[in-house]
Amino acid sequence: MSLKDKTALLEALQTLIAHNVQLDHILPFIKNSAYEDLSVAKLDIHRQARQGIPEVIFAEGKTVDDVTSIVEAMINKGHPAFVTRAQPACYTAISEKQGNRAWTVQYNQRAKTILVYEGELKQQDKGNVLVLCAGTSDISVAEEAVETAQFLGSKVSRAYDVGVAGIHRLFDSLGLIKEARVLIVVAGMEGALPSVVGGFTDKPMIAVPTSVGYGTSLGGLTALFAMLNSCVPGIAVMNIDNGFGAGCLAHKINTLAGL
């Protein structure tokens, strides 16, 4: 038995109280729900209950077998599995691993994310996160943010290729910006888009620099420094190419106000 969320923990404790269950009978249940040792990883099953964000599988640096074994363990515990920085080989192996089981496996090749679940997945209908990106070359990072926020349960909208080189393209998205609860703004090159957007909205904003750009972009450092030094106050800045982190923070902000 696993603890999928806070509700499961509360139900276990209510059972303890209602039926006068001995404490030593429920302690193994709580202990075993904390993590599962898979040899290659210690699966943090209880993270959703502690942090509100479940454990996510970062595929980079792991073998295909590592990833598939962790995914299988998560599904067997009744948890959906979300994989980031996943190459097509991971998607192929996971699809083959499911065999005749009723898994749904979704791969966003641009975002390099894989979502695996069994049965029904929770509705993606909380609030409204808007993801904007400056150029088509930034879409991979933007899509990682989109997939992450959607996996966590947020409703997400997109406005892509609206960078400052053609600032008039952004104006058609002003309605989306007005309707959004929180913004994720992704940009490479000189990283100017978050400052521009921040100048005409009161919405919480998360800026994500990308490693896109020519020589003096320094692999995203120029965009990162520009965002950190924005004259627009109150912008949160993620690490370079960290669409996942942006999606997590956006979801947390998005759900503060409920549905």
Q: Is residue 228 part of a domain?
A: yes
Q: Is residue 1 part of a domain?
A: no
Q: Which residues does 242 contact at the CB level (< 8 Å), separation at least 6?
A: 141, 208
State whether 45 and 135 are in the same domain: no
Please write the tens of the pLDDT for every residue from 92-145. Answer: 999 888 777 788 899 999 999 999 988 777 766 778 999 999 999 999 999 999
- Quote the domain boundaries for residue 139: 126-256
Which residue, among 124, 118, 116, has the nearest Cα to 95 in the 3D structure?
116
Q: What is the pLDDT of residue 146?
A: 97
State whether 130 and 236 are in the same domain: yes
Whether the Cβ atoms of residue 220 and residue 241 lie closer than 8 Å to each other = yes
State whether 232 and 177 are in the same domain: yes
Q: How many domains does the chain have?
A: 2
pTM value > 0.75: yes
Domain boundary among 84, 118, 152: 118
State whether 189 and 76 are in the same domain: no
**What CATH number did the domain enclosing 146 receive?**
3.40.50.1970
State whether 74 and 182 are in the same domain: no
**81-84 vs 235-237, strand pairing mode:** unpaired
pLDDT at residue 3 greater than cutoff 50? no
State whether 107 and 188 are in the same domain: no
State whether 52 and 158 are in the same domain: no
